[in-house]
Amino acid sequence: MPLKPPPLRNDCFALPPGVDWTPVDQALTMLRERLSPVVAQVTVPLAQSAGRVLAQDLTAHRANPPLPNTAVDGYGFAAASVGEGDITLPLVTGRAAAGVPFAGTVPPGHAIRVLTGAALPDGVDTVVLDEDCATDATSVAFRGPVKPRANTRRAGEDVEEGAQALPKGRTLTPADLALAAAIGWSNLPVYEKLSVGVLSTGDEVVPAGTQATPGQIFDANRPMLLSMADRFGYTPVDLGHVPDDRAALRARLDTAAAQTDLILTSGGASAGDEDHVSALLRETGALAEWRIALKPGRPLALGIWQGTPVFGLPGNPVAAFTCTLIFARPAMSLMSGAGWQEPTGFTVPADFTKNKKPGRREYLRARIRGGQAEVFKSEGSGRISGLSWAEGLVELPDGPQQIKPGTPVRYIPFGSFGL
Ligand code: AMP
Ligand code: MG
């Protein structure tokens, strides 16, 4: 039976006493230290393994290439048997083609017709390219000197047999599938996909497609968060919506905890009268309210509900989106067996002006045009159109910064977050 790690301790998200506004990096370090993989190992066919996380190191069952072979169409011979200047060699009868080797031995001072990918026949270590040869039915002529082993590939020059080719924890790419196939794998040991539950909360929230009264808003977070989980390579689980009602929320979390590896809620995460997610987690779910020095974002409510981590995200779609990318994504990656993941950012000149205040990290909706980072016209965290407009985030450091056009800033494309 595959091993399944034990559930998390109830106090795993607790902050040290006296901690108030937590810097982003400190929050990330704590998540990194306290979470661990929760997924079992399974075997899947190679062709279905893209995007899955390797559960074991893959070593080469065979070398790539398995035999020395020719990299071009041409004529093969032993380099030691030819000299300099113009060279004419008699051709042996037959040829070597990819998958159809030449059975005999090529004597010294002779050459053989070879086609790309063919295993080098005995007696051949060097190949001259077609275009550098003149030939008739019985011999081939070319100009020396030739470099020994020219136009050939050594056995195992790409991967030696037994070498580690892909590490455990790797999220498999299409190129990895090519590599795994080449070194003899057909079924791969991967982790079960992390199942990520998504729950919306709030009396004012109704699902898209229903009749909304003027005071109601359509649920924007649930489709967004479900598709983010899907893009990250997890199994999204739609937990629906609950009103601001503690009993209903409790019942939904009970079902969800048994069904998923992690729960993302949105709304009701701060300390207001109708903030039932944080209230309930405080009551029974070992709430740790992390007041993170981050914009956009508010307290991130973290709890453990019957052994299942709950990320209580802010209700604001922009804040929910940002907190998911910055906090939930690396945490989920760790739980999924893929290890902690830092997005790759790029330093680019700003195409905007901003007086950034100290005391919190800021993420601006941004995109690159003409090699410069432009930001959305409004920083309002209710502006969903800005999320849709953006192609990445500009990350501004915790300290103050005076930004003018041309100032270097860090841009992280959404692709770097796996979106
Ligand atoms: P809350 O975190 O519950 O105080 O909500 C903050 C803001 O986000 C409020 O304006 C909510 O109406 C809004 N909000 C909460 N949940 C959603 C949702 N699922 N989709 C869109 N907006 C939401
Ligand atoms: Mg609310």
Residue 220 CA: nearest ligand 1 atom is 20
The CATH architecture that domain 24-39+193-335 belongs to is: 3-Layer(aba) Sandwich (3.40)
Tell me the best of 217, 245, 298, 383 to mutate to test the pocket of ligand 1, counting ligand atoms within 8 Å of each CB and taking the most: 217
CA distance 101 to 107: 16
Instruction: Please tell me the predicted confidence (pLDDT) of residue 285.
Output: 65
Q: How confident is the model at residue 273 (pLDDT cuts 50, 70, 90)?
A: confident
Pocket lined around ligand 1, Cβ cut-off 6 Å: 200, 202, 204-205, 217, 219-222, 266-269, 314-317
- The answer, yes or no, to whether residue 292 has pLDDT greater than 90, is no
| 308 Cα to the center of ligand 2, angstroms | 23
Residue 298 CA: nearest ligand 1 atom is 2
User: 41-60+162-191 belongs to which homologous superfamily?
Assistant: Molybdopterin biosynthesis moea protein, domain 2 (3.90.105.10)
What are the C-alpha distances in Å from 302 to residues 10, 172, 280?
Answer: 11, 30, 11
What CATH topology corresponds to 346-417? Beta-clip (2.40.340)
The 10s digit of each residue's pLDDT in 87-112 is 999 999 999 999 999 999 999 999 99
Domain boundaries, the chain: 24-39+193-335, 41-60+162-191, 69-153, 346-417
Tell me the best of 203, 205, 228 to mutate to test the pocket of ligand 1, counting ligand atoms within 8 Å of each CB and taking the most: 205
Encode 65-101: b = buried (16+ Cβ within 10 Å), e = exposed: beebbbebbbbbbbbebbeeeebebebbeebbbeeee
The 10s digit of each residue's pLDDT in 350-372 is 999 999 988 889 999 999 999 99
Q: How far apart are the first and last CA of the chain?
A: 34
- The answer, yes or no, to whether residue 242 has pLDDT greater than 60, is yes
| 313 Cα to the center of ligand 2, angstroms | 11
Tell me the CATH class for 69-153: mainly beta
| 199 Cα to the center of ligand 1, angstroms | 12
- The answer, yes or no, to whether residue 18 has pLDDT greater than 60, is no
**pTM for the predicted model, two decimal places:** 0.89
Per DSSP, the three-state class of 110 is coil
274 and 268 Cβ atoms separated by less than 8 Å: yes
Out of 19-33, 83-97, 301-315, least confident range: 19-33
Indicate the DSSP class of residue 328. I
The 10s digit of each residue's pLDDT in 113-151 is 999 999 999 999 999 999 999 999 899 999 989 999 999
Interval 391-419 mean pLDDT: 96
Residue that the structure tokens 């539950």 belong to: 197
CB atoms within 10 A of CB 342: 10
Task: Tell the residue nearest (CA) to atom 14 of ligand 1.
Answer: 315
Task: Give the rounded distance of the alpha carbon of 320 from its chain centre.
Answer: 20
> What are the DSSP calls for 182-193, one per residue?
HTT-SEEEEEPP
Q: How confident is the model at residue 271 (pLDDT cuts 50, 70, 90)?
A: confident
